[in-house]
Amino acid sequence: MLLDQNGILSEKQAITTTAASTNVIDLTAAGNFAPGAMFAVCRVDENFAGLTGMKVALETAANSNFSDAVELASADFLTAALTTDKSLLAVAIPVGVKRYLRAKYTVTGTATAGKVSCFLTDTVDMH
């Protein structure tokens, strides 16, 4: 799996309340970005505790402040599924992606522990 520092949305980001990824990717900065050629992958780095569940979403927008955000893909998880090394999302970047890309983590309850990483890559590790 190929990783590039410029393709990381979250790197071991602690999630205790609803939050956007630490980083936003400007797809025009990458030159000729081709939807479907890259995958967005989100994984748990540290077990979650204290919350009821979490929704992980991949969002795109034409504006860097995400005032016009569109959800491209999402998945909902109960706390029991939010364990270390668990893959939460692994989707090809679809056609219709706008200039900016981010992950959004919507928490139900209040997390007392839990970290997640989300990044773009050229292939998905299927372990």
Chain segment 96-127, per-residue pLDDT in tens: 789 999 999 999 998 899 999 999 988 777 55
Q: What was the pLDDT predicted at 28?
A: 82
Residue 5's pLDDT is what? 65
C-beta separation of 70 from 84 below 8 A? no
| Phi, psi for 30 (deg, rounded to 5) | -85, -5
Across 34-66, b (16+ Cβ under 10 Å) vs e yields eeeebbbbbbbbeebeebebbbbbbbbbeeeeb
Q: Which residues make beta-bridge pairs with 55?
A: 76, 106
pLDDT at 38: 84
Structural element, H or E, at residue 96:
none
Pair 116, 42: CB distance under 8 Å: yes
CA distance 110 to 100: 28
Residues of the chain with confidence (pLDDT) below 50: none
- Which two tokens mark 7? 């393709």
- CB 103 within 8 Å of CB 59: yes
pLDDT of residue 73: 93
Report pLDDT for 86.
92
What is the structure's pLDDT at 32? 54
State the architecture of 5-121 in CATH terms.
Answer: Sandwich (2.60)
